[in-house]
Homo-oligomer: A and B are copies of this chain.
Amino acid sequence: MINFTFYSPTYFVFGKGTEKEAGHYVRRFGGSKILIHYGGGSVVRSGLLDRVKASLDKENIKYIELGGVQPNPRSGLVYKGIDLCRQEGVDFILAVGGGSVIDSAKAIAAGVPYDGDFWDFFEGKPVEKALKIGTILTIAAAGSEGSGDTVVTREEGMLKRGAHGEALRPSFSILNPELTQTLPAYQTAAGATDIMAHVFERYFTNTKEVEITDRLCEAILLTMIKEVPRVIADPNNYEARANIMWAGMVAHNNLVGVGRVQDWASHALEHELSALYDVAHGAGLAVIVPAWMTYVMKHDINRFAQLAVRVWGVDMNFANPEETALEGINRFKQFLKSIGMPISFKELNAREEDIPLMVDKLGLGENRTLGNFVKLTARDAEQIYRLAL
């Protein structure tokens, strides 16, 4: 096990009706003038925004609003949010929505106290200072409610990049599974795929003997395999929604990634897909992750066999472990299909002829490879995209 630090100071408030406690938690974590940040009209139409405002009013907390966050959130709105917060003396940002809204809020929070261009953080500068943020989550997917990460797309060149820092961990996150019950099945499934991908990025490592982290990863995957089909069959299954929502947080606050070198090639490969076609991140991952697995499998057959046996319930073929490993990947593909996810470029309406452009935007070269389980070159990336056609 390699040395690590683990710090997840977010106060999680989980369950039915918990959005009504938003005011209490903003007060507790020191917000007095806040920005409510959200996406499209669904949080307005559903009445969620009104419930949140009533809760803030009860605590006499002043607020302004900024809606309009798009999926794959854009830098344009972040600049607007930074200006607005500075003008109005905002000291706390409350994100009401999914990962895109939370990520946009984090980027604004980092930008407000920073003298330079906030995009610097997305070019590799660590975020050391930010406004405090709270979240009210409406989709189980990105795990941004418990992470110190944010992903934003710059319109110029459609560059999708991430920034990181302890300061980006929310002060509190409110998770009410009821709020996810109105999600279309496709978005639910894409969110679930994102959650599982967050686990795979951590599971595939060359660090040996980190059994506790392996087992915790497998615990989340087993939960998803049980619960996701139940919400696809019945969107109002609260218990299944609840299990998925909490799994989504645990999958990405890094508890299941400590003590090992993580991979993250699949996320980078996917970012080029969703930046180019504006597809749901989870749907892009459903296409990329199995292709990545197939491409790198031979690097460590036993690790793939372990996943197949422990998670997918495949019988170990002791005479031919490679067959077991492959069967695990097949089961994952079948699972993705069964919940309505695409598993090919074709299903995503992505084009073969764009592959060179995507590979080019990855910026790989002599001194830059992708991922850690296998260090991918530009040629590897191209082959993985082709495997996904």
Contact = CB atoms under 8 A, between A and B. Distances in A.
Interface string A1-28: 1111111111111111110000000000
A8 B9 CA distance: 6
Contacts of A14: 1, 3-6, 258-259
Given A7-B11, A218-B219, A208 B259 contact: no
A239 interface: yes
Contacts of A9: 8-9, 11
A242 B209 CA distance: 10
A210 interface: yes
A222 interface: yes
A219 B9 CA distance: 23
Interface stretch (A121-129, A150-158, A243-251, A370-378): A243-251
Contacts of A208: 239
Size bin of chain A's contact surface: 35 or more
A215 interface: yes
Contacts of A16: 3
A247 B212 contact: yes
B250 A227 contact: no
Contact of A15 (B2, B13, B212): B2
A353 interface: no
Contacts of A215: 218-220, 222-223
Contacts of A212: 219-220, 223, 243, 246-247, 250
Nearest to A240: B209
A117 interface: no
Contacts of A5: 11-14
Interface string A30-51: 0000000000000000000000
Contacts of A242: 1, 259
A208 to B, nearest CB: 7
Q: Select the residue from A211, A246, A259 with max chain B CB neighbours within 10 A.
A: A211
A315 to B, nearest CB: 14
Q: Select the residue from A7, A246, A259 with max chain B CB neighbours within 10 A.
A: A246
A226 interface: yes
Contacts of A246: 1, 212, 258-259
Interface of A: 1-18, 177, 208-212, 215-216, 218-220, 222-223, 226-227, 238-240, 242-243, 246-247, 250, 255, 258-259
Given A5-B11, A212-B250, A215-B218, 14 more contacts: A1-B14, A1-B242, A1-B243, A1-B246, A2-B15, A4-B15, A5-B12, A14-B258, A210-B239, A212-B220, A215-B222, A216-B216, A216-B250, A219-B219
